[in-house]
Amino acid sequence: MASYDVVIIGGGGAGLTAAVYTSRANLKTLLLEKLTPGGQIALTDIVENYPGFPEGVTGTDISMRMEEQAKKYGTEVQYEEVQSISGSGGGFRIKTAKTTYDTKTIIIASGASFRMIGVPGEKELTGRGVSYCATCDGAFFKNKEIVVVGGGDSAMQEGIFLTRFVTKLKVIHRRDKLRASPILQDRAKENPKISFIWDTVVTRIEGDKKVEKIKVKNLKTNEEKDFKTDGVFVFIGHDPATKFLQGFVQLDEKGYVKANERLETSVQGVFVAGEVRAGAVKQLVSACGEGCEAALNAQAYLEQLELTEKK
């Protein structure tokens, strides 16, 4: 059974930054990621607000660079999904579907997953016209007409990207104004391919082998109607990836990990960073900053633990 100083759960910006810092501190570091390096950022087309890239950088590129940097300093990366954690300060056991790892400390950076609308037809037609990733599936909708559900930064950013392929795009938003940043709102409203349906929600997605139409409802008038569409892209937020943490650390009512100002969780020796933390700012630059802070605090914890053991 492999044993480590630090196990980092999650390979997004927070996790990869933490790995760079712990590895450079000569701590034996394992990073566990269930999907691909970079987490959600790897699925983003262009990142325009990360310092040092005035022309922007693709999500894939920055993700690969972060992973390469972590590995350069000695981080071991395994693509496995964590199922459970047990133990207490100084001695934890992490179980995945493949194996078991022992570690002295843990940094939770598991991020969050795309939130579903939760309407009939959505699950059945996911991958057949329903998507949560513009960069993954946008090219499949060339010269098609689609809808985007959501009104935040992700909805506008991914919607603008999708106009590279589609002929028309309707944004369906449950309010009468967007929540996205002003610059993204302006870009979306100025795009001739994008139109908006306000105060409206999707109540059903229909189709035989693929999406053919949706049913929508106006929340102010209660009017319902159907209209045809070739695809439904959903960008309405995320749910924290904390199922494996239930009963282990304290979570808030939404399932995010609670932590103090030092990013310490309710379990001594377990730290948290990035989008999975309750109250986190959901931006790459802040996730990386928290990854750095969690790593430095974990290092300080291990140094104190070593001193205690020597007494």
The widest CA-to-CA distance across the chain, in whole angstroms, is 73
Active site residues: 133, 136-137
d(CA 309, CA 261): 26
Per-residue pLDDT at 176? 96
- pTM across the whole model: 0.79
- State residue 137's pLDDT score: 87
Cα–Cα distance, 81 to 271 (Å, whole number):
18
Quote the CA–CA distance of 137 and 130 in Å, as a whole number: 9
pLDDT of residue 254: 92
- End-to-end distance of the chain based on CA atoms, in angstroms? 28
Q: Decide if 2-114+238-310 and 122-234 have a common fold.
A: yes
What is the token pair recorded at 134?
């513009």
Name the stretches of the chain with pLDDT < 70: 311
Per-residue pLDDT at 44: 75
What tens digit of pLDDT does each residue of 18-64 get? 999 999 999 999 999 998 888 878 877 778 889 999 998 988 899 99
Q: Are 272 and 259 in contact (CB under 8 A)?
A: yes
Kindly list the distances between the CA atom of residue 286 and the CA atoms of 86, 87, 108, 291, in Å, as whole numbers in the listed order. 29, 29, 15, 9
Amino acid at 214: I
Yes or no: domain 2-114+238-310 corresponds to CATH 3.50.50.60 = yes
pLDDT value, residue 244: 96
Res 120: pLDDT: 97
∠ at Cα 47 (44, 51), nearest 5°? 150
What is the DSSP pairing of strand 2-9 with strand 200-206?
unpaired
The pLDDT of residue 308: 83
- DSSP annotation of 43: G
Supply the pLDDT for residue 61: 94
CATH number of 122-234: 3.50.50.60
Look at residue 310 in the predicted model and tell me its pLDDT.
Answer: 76
The residues spanned by each domain of the chain are 2-114+238-310, 122-234
Residues 6+ away with beta carbon under 8 Å from 106: 6, 7, 8, 9, 85, 92, 94, 269, 270, 271
Nearest to 62 by CA among 78, 75, 51: 51
Nearest of 149, 147, 91 to residue 117 by alpha carbon? 149
SS3 string of 155-222?
Answer: HHHHHHHHCCCCCEEEEECCCCCCCCCHHHHHHHHHCCCEEEECCEEEEEEECCCCCCEEEEEECCCC
At residue 35, the pLDDT reads 83
